A and B are shown apart, each in its own frame.
Chain A
Amino acid sequence: MDYHTVSTTCVYCGAGCGLWLEVLDGEIIGVLPDKEHPVSRGMLCIKGWNVASFVTHPDRLRTPLIRRGKAFEEASWDEALDLVAEKLTTARDKSGPDSVGFLASAKCTNEENYLIQKLARAVVRTNNVDHCARL
């Protein structure tokens, strides 16, 4: 029997609370708040307490999905990214850069959010950049 705790950061919001995932024989069984974390200091909100629940959730996506007609079909990353690049280019060239909007996210790192606004401004040439909270 092997039990240990793995340090990680909550994915849900920009606070970035520290927590420990409890791992028992290779399976995540629970969450403990990190008492030494400078931001969260041993406290978590309800989302942090339940952060492990999506890891092995049956609804979790395991491959990219492309919608064809009414159905979502499994695809490879190359297929999916090629399609996205093609469609963004078409939208920009046919309907203008401002026909595209970009939504960043607190679940992403600062660096990832920097990249998406760079893509928006430098490549698609729009400053329609906002946050997923707008949804």
Chain B
Amino acid sequence: MIDQVRSHVAEKLEELDGVVALRRTSAGTAPSLFKKGDDVSQLELTPRYGLASIVSTLQKHDPEARLGVVARGCDVRALVEMAKRELVDPDRLFILGVACTAEEAEECHCADPAPHTEGWPESEVVGEPVAAGSPDPLVAEYDGMSLDERRDFWERQFAKCFKCYGCRNICPECFCESCALEDPLWVERGVLGPPFPVFHLIRAMHMAGRCVACRQCELTCPAHIPLTVLYDLMRRDVEDLLGYVPGQDIEALPPLSLNLEEAPLQQELE
């Protein structure tokens, strides 16, 4: 599959200004912009860095550039949500979707390890989509907890946090120029740990209708806080209450941008 990806990219570089993908050099493998004439044998698919934010930055930097990106399912979902918020221009971005392997889907407990590019103006998909990974056992464990146990659980988890802001920095959907987590009104400066539960719940609330389960937050958290479980729960509620799954349908507007008449609740609140 990697050879297919490389030759597709080499082809596309003839007409595009660049393709965002992972480049392997002697120093390691990291995101880079491949240009026409570059050695595409350096293109890799792992380790899994999120590429959606980089695309957004490059498009903002050069509003005329026509770019491409080698994107996994989660990258595509992130790009779809960014497109809805005008952070990415779909008309100037070609997506080369890459299906994850079964091992990768299982490692991520991914519910949808395939790039869905329906509705995106220009795209191609490489690789056969595999079945979803098994769900994260922590979610089932959490569901079995009483309210007190849940509070204790998060209290213990959030107490590990030392405010590196990595979760916020790496998230493709975090784009606010003035971030609530840096506002001394909500988060006092120079104090560790972060205020419980405000710090993490602010992020969780902001992830409603946005989190695409790319898991980059949890992968970069040095305290190993189970952030995907936190945002999974939020995502589940948004799906149950509003029938909305982030990244799934480029035509569906984010419900938090609409009022209750335009996006009614589909379930009674308990």
B-contacting residues of A (Cβ < 8 Å)?
1-7, 18, 20, 22, 24-25, 29-30, 32-37, 42-46, 48-49
Overall SS of chain B's interface: mixed
Bound-state Cα–Cα, A24 to B27, Å: 18
What chain B residues lie within 8 Å of A37 (beta carbons)? Answer: 28
What chain A residues lie within 8 Å of B142 (beta carbons)? Answer: none
Count residues of chain B with CB under 8 A from any CB of chain A: 33
Query: Chain A nearest CB: distance from B62 CB in Å?
Result: 5
Question: CB distance B30 to A43 under 8 Å?
Answer: no
Number of A-B contacts (CB under 8 A): 78
Known: A1-B17, A4-B23. A36 touches B29 (CB 8 A): yes
Question: CB distance B23 to A43 under 8 Å?
Answer: no
> In the complex, what residue of chain B is closest to A36 when comparing beta carbons?
B28
What chain B residues lie within 8 Å of A43 (beta carbons)? Answer: 164, 166, 220-222
A-contacting residues of B (Cβ < 8 Å)?
17-18, 20, 23, 25, 27-33, 35, 47-49, 54, 57-58, 61-62, 65, 162-166, 169-170, 219-222
Question: CB distance B166 to A3 under 8 Å?
Answer: no
Specify which of B33, B47, B170 is in contact with A1 (CB 8 Å cutoff): B33
Question: CB distance B165 to A35 under 8 Å?
Answer: no
Specify which of B23, B169, B219 is in contact with A42 (CB 8 Å cutoff): B219
Question: CB distance B57 to A24 under 8 Å?
Answer: yes
Known: A42-B220, A44-B166, A45-B222. A35 touches B33 (CB 8 A): no
Q: Which of B20, B30, B220, B221 is the most central at the interface, judged by chain A CB atoms within 10 Å of its CB?
A: B30
